[in-house]
Amino acid sequence: MILEVKNLTKVYGEFCDKCLESTGPEFESSVCPYCSSVVAVNNINIRVNKGEVVGIVGESGSGKSTLLQLIYQDQKADQGVVYIDGFKDDLGNYKNILEADPNELSYLRTKLMSMIYQNPRLGLNYQFSAGGNIAEKIIMSGIRNYAEIRKRVLYFLEKTEIPKERVDDYPDRFSGGQQQRIQISKALASNPKLLLLDEPTTGLDLSVQAKILDLIKKLQKEMGFAMIIVSHDLGVIKHLTNICIVMKNGQIVEKGLTDQILEDPQHPYTQLLVSSAL
């Protein structure tokens, strides 16, 4: 097991007793009728094994990005438990990462998981060069030898097909697709066990999208990390994932093998989603 999520919940607003039971797909609403809180993520359970690629699909506002942010802890969850392989207490029991202190959190975010955002501006520091951005992750993992850092920076740039000569250029001198590649290099530089991707190709043109998806797929096979990909693009999900989760109004409505779900959707919402794909 790489990741286990149990009863993860995030509510924006008052969070009354009836929030969770009176929202969801059967009510077609994420807004609690009693206290008007928005239930973004409602009792989600997921398990990801080593090397697995899990896709999360759903419409805007279904809570898929929030779910990813809760795992990466860009936002704090209200309830639930998240276990990650490699994060244990002294007795060898899994520790809930939602209760990690800031030091542990930085360990989690450098050694165990990395996030790739839709907008490279969120994942990269534009005051540092492309190489500097990648170096930051390598330095955070504890390496203090310049030659070693430089070697790894160049290695990861090459992996994502950025010309080595441009290592000291600043991110805003690169094209959008290249910035996304630099973000991928940065995320992978610390050899994470789990990679979280939030709409990694949305907003890029189609040929670049295809290249980046191929790149992610290739790197995943090579390095063997597990991935969770959030996308509203079924093509991306089909191309990359083995397992797929369909979310609506903060809850999971269907999960299973990607092929199966896309070929033979059971839930009416999934049927609508698949049939409305272009």
Partner 1 sequence: MRYAFLDENSKKEIRRAILKAIAIPGYQVPFASREMPIARGWGTGGLQITLSIINEGDCIKVIDQGCDGSLNAVNIRNFVVSVTGNKTTTDTKKATIIQSRHRIPEEQLEEGQCLVLQVPYPEVLVNVEADSYKQKLMHANKDYARLWVLLYEDTARFGDSRISNRYPVIVNNRYAMDPTPIPRYDIPKLNNNKALILFGAGREKKIYAIPPYTEVEPLKFEDKEFKIETFDDKKCARCGTKGVFMDEVYNDDGSVTYYCNDTSYCDKKLKGEL
Could you tell me the smallest distance in angstroms from the CB atom of residue 39 to partner 1? 30
Residue 168 makes contact with partner 1 by CB under 8 A:
yes
Closest to partner 1 by CB, 106 or 260: 106
Closest to partner 1 by CB, 157 or 240: 157
* Burial (CB count within 10 angstroms: exposed 0-12, middle 13-18, buried 19+), residue 14: exposed
Hey, which residues does 227 pair with through a beta bridge? 53, 195
SS3 content of the chain, % helix, strand, coil (to 5): 40, 25, 35
Could you tell me the smallest distance in angstroms from the CB atom of residue 147 to partner 1? 5
What are the phi and psi torsion angles at 30 (to 5°)? -105, 0
Closest to partner 1 by CB, 133 or 183: 133
46-105 residues in contact with partner 1 (CB under 8 A) are 102-103
Question: Residue 27, Cβ neighbours under 10 Å: how many?
Answer: 13
Could you tell me the smallest distance in angstroms from the CB atom of residue 78 to partner 1? 22
Hey, which residues does 55 pair with through a beta bridge? 229, 244
102-161 residues in contact with partner 1 (CB under 8 A) are 102-103, 106, 125, 127-129, 131-133, 135-136, 139-140, 144-150
Q: Token pair 């199966």 is at which residue?
A: 260
Contacts to partner 1 by CB under 8 A? 102-103, 106, 125, 127-129, 131-133, 135-136, 139-140, 144-150, 167-168
